Chain A
Amino acid sequence: MSDGKITGNEGFAIEIGGMPILLRTRDTCFRQLLSDRYAGFVSDLAIPELEFDIDLVEPSTEIEADDDVQVRKEGGGWLLQRGDFQAQWDTSCGRGQVRQSRNPYAIDSLLRIIHTLILAKRGGFLVHAASAVRGERAFLFAGVSGAGKTTISRLAPSDATLLSDEISYVRRERDSYLSCGTPFAGELARVGENKSAALRALFFLDKGPENRIEPLESGEAVRLLLRNILFFAEDEELVRLVFQSACEFVERVPVSRLTFVPDQRVWDLIR
């Protein structure tokens, strides 16, 4: 892991969840901007699984329009686009091109989409959840906006390592799961630690008058999990894979509802 220095001539790898993606741009200022933005996740040792060339363009109505995310198969790869970027990814050779403005958040969105596509084929997923490691075990705290992801992250004790306060990374490892840190920050605007740990439990958050944990039935757990998994592709095969991943996750990881009072005592239950 580097301290954010640019490595190589025009590119550097951002490694999230153990998956390095090489980004190349000839614009040294933008390269430094990205390198600083992803500082804890820049790797100068990793052999990239994917490579993207970034082509910076001036803001225009063509690329700045506030469009929704579109992710679809086209030719031998994927076409990914939103208002502020357009990308093509040739899956046969693992290379792609991105046209975007200087907005670093465009790359953030691109990385999220790419990771969702790769994880879908490997039994993992990105999920709207805060996550933290405590006692060498990872815990996920899922929920829609307002459920308490930021609150529970802010209340985390000093012996907990925050992996993310917004988007958590779940990787399948045979019959278990790893939760990995991400640079995808939420309201805390704090990048997660680039660490990982075996996943112990998934909690769906709910604020209430007392702290309590209630196990969820499988059907309810799958339904809630699917609602919180990030997925953008218009592709039936991948939808099936995500469904399969959610079901297999629920069979292997305890899923509960965590009702909590917003103070530090809730963390007494998280062990």
Chain B
Amino acid sequence: MSEKYIARSSAIAARMLGSEMMIMSAADSTFFTLNEVATAIWQAADGRTPLSEIVAGKICEEFEIDPGVATRDAEQFVDELSQHGILLVSEQPILNPSSAPPPEEL
């Protein structure tokens, strides 16, 4: 099974409010509120770290979630956000993540 790399799109606005990350697509105004686990994936989406590594290192370890469940949930989350252009997904490292905003940039 091939690796999956994820990067934050530059066509979004995001902001941390309280313990929740709020993200809106600047293209279609779709609005998402991320919970703590989803926020951790979002913040780790640098285009260079494989999703499997993010799940193992950031999710399973920090939130004590079963690897199988964490992987399935992460794949589902990534698919949903990528459908709205909020996350970029590739089988290769995304080498130009500089165009993507840092996790909390507006």
Contact = CB atoms under 8 A, between A and B. Distances in A.
Contacts of B29: 226, 239
B13 A244 contact: yes
Interface of B: 11, 13, 15, 17-18, 20, 22, 24, 26-27, 29, 31, 33, 106
Given A240-B26, A243-B13, A243-B24, A226 B31 contact: yes
Interface string A199-231: 000000000000000000111101100100000
Given A240-B106, A244-B106, A219 B22 contact: yes
Contacts, number: 48
Interface of A: 217-220, 222-223, 226, 236-237, 239-240, 243-244, 247, 250-251
Interface core residue of A236, A237, A250, A251 (most chain B CB under 10 Å) = A236
A244 B15 contact: yes
Nearest to B35: A219
Contacts of B24: 226, 239-240, 243
Nearest to A218: B17
A120 to B, nearest CB: 12
Nearest to A237: B26
B31 to A, nearest CB: 6
A239 B18 contact: no
Contacts of B26: 236-237, 239-240, 243
Contacts of A218: 17-18, 20, 22
B106 A219 contact: no
B27 to A, nearest CB: 6
Given A219-B33, A244-B106, A236 B15 contact: no
Given A218-B17, A239-B13, A223 B106 contact: no
